[in-house]
Chain A
């Protein structure tokens, strides 16, 4: 579960800006509340802001810091990521702080501070938070006033072997830290080295896995969950039904067998490279299908009994079985749904999903329906969605709670300010923007709620 995130000195964020999923005392939409470590946690965070307010930067900050935490500073582009309007910010640390609950139900505060100038992790902490609020530093990493790296811990380990290993691991981030370790998080280092077999190591691995499991969807990203669909008929059926539900004009999603047209797929690639790729693909294919995506079209490749390569591709039936549509034939809105729908069957019951511009290419009502469907299908689990939007029609208290609504505003100094609707007294912000949604205009998609009955995800 995701409880909160704070960021400072990253892109448009100058001073620390915080988003919190902790529920306030608002009585509406009790079904949006999850329970964890004696806290009430919200299912949704909807971040609203005008263009250029910085709302996308929040999702970018999560993506950026997650990459650093999992893969190290060497794997991210640090160039001009600090708050560039201020001259000193290049030399100011960027700080990313998370509050989370792992799948074991334990709550942690975890954070890193990085230096854009030195390109190293300056500080890192992992703190366990007990039900009564008591805090235990599992580890704390920093650099002292003499420029010496150090680590410390409040964890008492009885097992001698475990204790020795713990000290060795932390020691690698101490006084004699190597250049490569300066770019690495303790979290990823210990998760990888210890295999999380016991005690404290398994706790660290759990936090690491939490970061691994975050799903982040950008307007340009295509969700890889689509791949299964080509091969799995059951998933294809669910997908088809959801597409009908969302009134896309698609009647079914089919997979279509065909010959492998390497020439067409590799069009534009130098011939020699194409030959090499062809050879590699041919060799890689065994009994299990291999998935790949070219120009957004997903293919699945396998060998038949005679060793011929058979391709299967996903195509959409719009009512004419003689003429199926490819992915790129679909409207922008439908393409966006292809990115989003897999979330409904891919989520493993406790996903944290960040979506930048959830309304991109989607009609107001469609986005709304998407959220409603999300609540319905994840009723029993702890999945959460944190999404940015510039569709003010979503800021409707019939859909979300006021503590789930966030605004990003650009301040006079050009930095982004993040605050919740919850800071205002109740009632004053109720958006009365429903006339449009109530069907004043004809151009709203029609939803067939009966469809939902048939979907069993």
Chain B
């Protein structure tokens, strides 16, 4: 006997181990610098499988406007939260954000069709729409990109330099607490991100064992460089082509992790002590899927 509406007898069986999947996960990272950090993490992301990181997990450095060089720690958090707000919006919110004039220009039906299934629209019109949207400050591709990811799993993090010249101690402490309260991971580089880079390039203990105070002070040594950035530059020769992640950094990530572990990793302790707890992020990424 057979009933055509009934599901199969096994429909209530549960997944066995082989059927289970690893969910995708992104770590969204908000950073101070516009260029170096982004290059480093883009390189990390691109080469993650080589490094032994599961392809299902990725790091994404949040984009910052080109002229936006405002790098106070609060600004880094603000940038992060702006993205979180964007993510939480529904795609349909586009209708609330654009002007009536804009809606008339493309017609409501067109916009709805675009949201529903853009492939059904002619490519030319589609591109025009996206371009026009961008002009009014709405990056639809990025919005849709953000929505692709797993809301439940994604992580949000900031990377802040403990830059004594510009960031006050109370400011740092406030930011750390704010991140903890809101569930954001807080990575700190003391004195700056370049120290993390230097850990790839040099034997910190051997070469700087008696000059750690110089790293901590990180005084300006020239027009372009501070003490640490000069040390990095001397070794890595960053040119116009970028930091050359694949050659200069990729092979030495483990070395950096081992060296960084010798310094404090607690956020609060990193306010007064040199070090960088980014190794935690690297290890977390490597652990994912294992």
Contacts and interface: CB of A to CB of B under 8 A. Distances in A.
Contact of A422 (B7, B12, B14): B14
A198 interface: no
A173 to B, nearest CB: 14
A80 interface: no
A154 B7 contact: no
Interface stretch (A92-100, A240-248, A340-348): A92-100
A411 interface: no
B215 to A, nearest CB: 33
B5 A22 contact: no
Given A97-B7, A140-B3, A423 B12 contact: no
A129 B153 CA distance: 39
A22 B22 contact: no
B3 A123 contact: yes
A125 B20 contact: no
A3 B12 contact: yes
Contact of B22 (A4, A95, A97, A424): A424
Contact of B14 (A16, A23, A95, A435): A23
A429 B3 contact: no
B13 A20 contact: yes
Interface string B179-201: 01101000000000000000000
Contact of A142 (B4, B9, B19, B183): B4
Interface residues of A, number: 44
B210 interface: no
B7 A16 contact: yes
A213 interface: no
A424 B22 CA distance: 6
A111 B3 contact: yes
Given A111-B3, A424-B20, A428-B23, A135 B11 contact: no
A142 B3 contact: yes
Contacts of B16: 24-25
Nearest to B10: A133
B4 to A, nearest CB: 7
B61 to A, nearest CB: 23
B177 to A, nearest CB: 11
Contacts of B153: 428-429
A433 B152 CA distance: 12
B280 to A, nearest CB: 14
Contacts of A21: 12
B14 A20 contact: yes
A171 to B, nearest CB: 17
A350 interface: no
B259 to A, nearest CB: 28
A152 interface: yes
A435 B3 contact: no
A440 B181 CA distance: 9
Contacts of B4: 123, 142
Interface in A131-157: 133, 135, 137, 140, 142, 152, 154
Contacts of B1: 137, 140, 152, 154
Contacts, number: 90
Interface in A94-131: 95, 97, 99, 109, 111, 113, 122-123, 125, 127, 129
A154 B2 CA distance: 11
A135 B180 contact: no
B90 to A, nearest CB: 10
B138 interface: no
Interface in A440-455: 440
B6 A111 contact: yes
Contact of B11 (A4, A127, A142, A428): A4
A254 interface: no
A403 B12 CA distance: 12
B288 interface: yes
A280 interface: no
A99 B214 CA distance: 71
Contacts of A392: 152
Interface string B10-50: 01111111011111010000000000000000000000000
A3 B14 CA distance: 12
Interface string B266-279: 00000000000000
A113 B6 CA distance: 9
Tell which of A111, A392, A407, A424 has the most Cβ of chain B within 10 Å.
A424
A261 B12 CA distance: 54
Contacts of A133: 9
B24 to A, nearest CB: 10
B84 to A, nearest CB: 15
Nearest to A124: B3
Contact of B19 (A3, A109, A423, A440): A423
Contacts of B17: 25, 425
Interface string A24-37: 11000000000000
B20 A6 contact: no
A425 B20 contact: yes
A317 interface: no
A72 to B, nearest CB: 18
A237 interface: no
Most buried by A among B12, B15, B152: B12
12 contacts: A6-B11, A18-B11, A21-B12, A23-B14, A24-B15, A97-B6, A111-B3, A123-B5, A127-B6, A425-B17, A425-B21, A426-B20
Given A22-B14, A99-B12, 6 more contacts: A6-B7, A18-B11, A127-B6, A403-B14, A425-B21, A428-B289
